[in-house]
């Protein structure tokens, strides 16, 4: 939504003063009306965020305009201006729907604080409407998240949530382990937002306060010795768009204070400048660190954390999405083969069985790298299981690498030696548990067909 402010006053001089004050504070879209009879038509034709209304108007009084606006456009918050402090009039205006009132002549600081509050209310009302409209459903085929490869219901529900809240202007925090696709999700949030501006991504890890401030907020000429020209900064580049801050858990406390101000008020200062600028860029942040732990350690601000996580999703690691291993494997295999202009190689069921037992600390990114390497090295159009064994060897039990029977894993002792039938039941139950109840995945882990697994499950009932 555009931050358009409607000024209604029959005093042309007052209109010019208020227009100047608002534009100096960074508000760009100001519509001025000196005839109260024009208000309704302007409200119908312009996307107005809030209205500043003088009560002493000819033709239609301010109270009448207020009542009509509250009836036809209840989403628009109104600030009324009055020349006299008449308590009964003020009470009527508040009951009619006014959010706030000020007496003339208005104090600039108080006026801007009130306008800022009106804009916040306007955005909240707008975003609540967007959420209500989108809560019905999200068409997966049209979703910006449709390209994400997963069969996990929980992850799909996270994507559905992200789609629904993507059009709000509030910050969005994406957390998850390395390799879970946080930046891909940030980009999808921007694509789903409908914002006309650019998607600007910056990794803030390792940047000290000065460099980060310069990178985000820019500088004016002469701000420091080597500043021979002005720099806009990435926050200006992301105007009307999205600014993605990766590794947000690594920024200094000084930088956290500046970021908090940016999120709270949309205001910032370029280095070397005392002119406050405003932005409507949407902030999306990501980290693989545990921010609540950093808060306890005193290295991350509690207030910034809760501002950032107005909207929040935590991406489930691959080791907890066993059913996705086969799905992702086939996806990356097709992708790698296409990029290398090679036919899709064949592979054994033992390979999927092996990978289903691996935790993938690097998540999908690690699997992708494994597969690209294996496709490049494939001979006779067949993937070698030995390449994968060598990559996972340090983190897996040797008995699993050799694909040996369960005695090396289960620490069986001779006093309670299970029968073959009992052993089969144990393995089937464990496979069903690990796969989250997905019988196709469980069958792959056991090295049997799904039909065979179904037959054994019926037999063991």
pLDDT higher at 336 or 454: 336
pLDDT value for 315: 95
Distance CA 441, CA 434 (A): 9
State phi, psi for 102 to the nearest 5 degrees. Answer: -140, 145
Whether residue 409 has pLDDT greater than 90 = no
pLDDT value for 393: 76
Contacts of 365 by beta carbon, 8 Å cutoff, 6+ apart: 178, 179, 181
Q: Which CATH architecture has domain 318-404?
A: Orthogonal Bundle (1.10)
* % of the chain exceeding 70 in pLDDT: 89
Distance CA 336, CA 214 (A): 39
Mean pLDDT of the chain: 85
Average pLDDT over residues 35-64: 86
CATH class of 406-461: mainly alpha
Q: What is the pLDDT of residues 75-107, one digit of tens each?
A: 889 999 988 777 888 888 888 888 888 988 888
Q: What is the pLDDT of residues 198-227, one digit of tens each?
A: 999 999 998 999 999 999 999 988 888 787
Distance CA 142, CA 428 (A): 39
DSSP, residue by residue, 25-73: TT--EEEEES-GGGHHHHHHHS--SEEEEES--SSS-HHHHHHHHHHH-
pLDDT value for 371: 95
pLDDT value for 461: 63
Give me the residue spans of the domains in the chain.
4-133, 147-316, 318-404, 406-461
Q: What is the pLDDT of residues 123-174, one digit of tens each?
A: 777 766 665 555 444 445 457 888 888 888 889 889 988 988 898 889 999 9
Which run of H or of E encompasses 259?
helix 253-265
pLDDT value for 408: 41
Query: What is Dmax (Cα atoms) for the chain?
Result: 100
pLDDT value for 136: 41
pLDDT value for 406: 45
Domain 147-316 is found in CATH 3.40.50.300: yes
Contacts of 362 by beta carbon, 8 Å cutoff, 6+ apart: 178, 179, 369
Distance CA 304, CA 257 (A): 8
Superfamily of 4-133 according to CATH: Response regulator (3.40.50.2300)
pTM equals 0.64
pLDDT value for 255: 94
Whether residue 246 has pLDDT greater than 90 = yes
Contacts of 332 by beta carbon, 8 Å cutoff, 6+ apart: 367, 368, 371, 372
The three-state DSSP-derived secondary structure of 161-201 is HHHHHCCCCCCEEEEECCCCCHHHHHHHHHHHHCCCCCEEE
pLDDT value for 123: 78
pLDDT value for 415: 45
Give yes or no for a contact between 114 and 100, defined as CB atoms under 8 angstroms apart: yes
pLDDT value for 149: 87
Average pLDDT over residues 388-405: 63
pLDDT value for 299: 94
pLDDT value for 308: 93
Same fold, 318-404 and 406-461: no
Whether residue 115 has pLDDT greater than 60 = yes
């Amino acid at each position: 939504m555009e931050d358009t402010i409607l000024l209604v006053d029959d005093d042309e001089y007052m209109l010019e003063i208020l227009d100047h004050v608002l534009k100096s504070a960074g508000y760009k879209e100001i519509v001025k009306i000196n005839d109260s009879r024009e208000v309704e038509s302007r409200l119908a034709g312009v996307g107005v965020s809030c209205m500043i209304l003088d009560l002493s108007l000819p033709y239609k009084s301010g109270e009448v305009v207020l009542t009509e606006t509250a009836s036809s456009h209840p989403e628009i918050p109104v600030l009324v201006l009055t020349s006299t402090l008449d308590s009964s009039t003020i009470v009527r205006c508040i009951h009619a729907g006014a959010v706030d009132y000020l007496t003339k002549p208005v104090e600039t600081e108080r006026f801007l604080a009130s306008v800022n509050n009106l804009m916040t209310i306007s955005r909240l009302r707008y975003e609540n409407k967007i959420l209500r409209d989108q809560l019905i459903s999200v068409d997966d085929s049209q979703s910006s998240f449709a390209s994400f490869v997963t069969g996990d219901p929980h992850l799909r529900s996270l994507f559905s949530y992200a789609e629904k809240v993507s059009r709000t202007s509030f910050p969005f925090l994406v957390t998850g382990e390395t390799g879970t696709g946080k930046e891909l999700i940030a980009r999808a949030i921007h694509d789903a937002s409908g914002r006309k501006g650019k998607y600007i991504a910056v990794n803030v890890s390792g940047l000290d306060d000065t460099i980060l401030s310069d990178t985000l907020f820019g500088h004016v000429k002469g701000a420091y010795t080597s500043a021979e020209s002005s720099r806009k900064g990435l926050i200006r580049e992301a105007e009307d768009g999205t600014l993605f801050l990766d590794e947000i858990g690594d920024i200094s406390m000084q930088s956290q204070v500046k970021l908090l101000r940016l999120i709270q008020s949309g205001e910032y200062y370029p280095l070397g400048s005392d002119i406050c600028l405003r932005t409507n860029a949407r902030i999306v942040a990501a980290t693989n660190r545990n921010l609540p732990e950093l808060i306890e350690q005193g290295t991350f601000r509690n207030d910034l954390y809760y501002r950032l996580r107005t909207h929040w999703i935590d991406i489930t690691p691959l080791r907890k999405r066993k059913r996705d291993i086969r799905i992702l494997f086939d996806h990356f295999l097709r992708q790698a083969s296409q990029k290398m202009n090679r036919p899709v190689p064949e592979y054994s069921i033992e390979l999927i069985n092996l990978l289903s037992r691996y935790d993938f600390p690097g998540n999908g990114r690690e699997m992708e790298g494994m597969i690209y390497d294996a496709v490049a090295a494939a001979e006779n159009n067949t993937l070698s299981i030995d390449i994968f064994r060598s990559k996972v060897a340090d983190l897996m039990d040797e008995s699993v690498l050799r694909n040996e029977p369960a005695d090396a894993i289960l620490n069986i002792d001779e006093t309670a030696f299970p029968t073959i039938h009992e052993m089969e039941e144990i393995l089937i139950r464990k496979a069903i548990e690990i796969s989250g109840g997905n019988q196709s995945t469980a069958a792959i882990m056991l090295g049997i067909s799904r039909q065979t697994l179904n037959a054994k499950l019926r037999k063991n009932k």
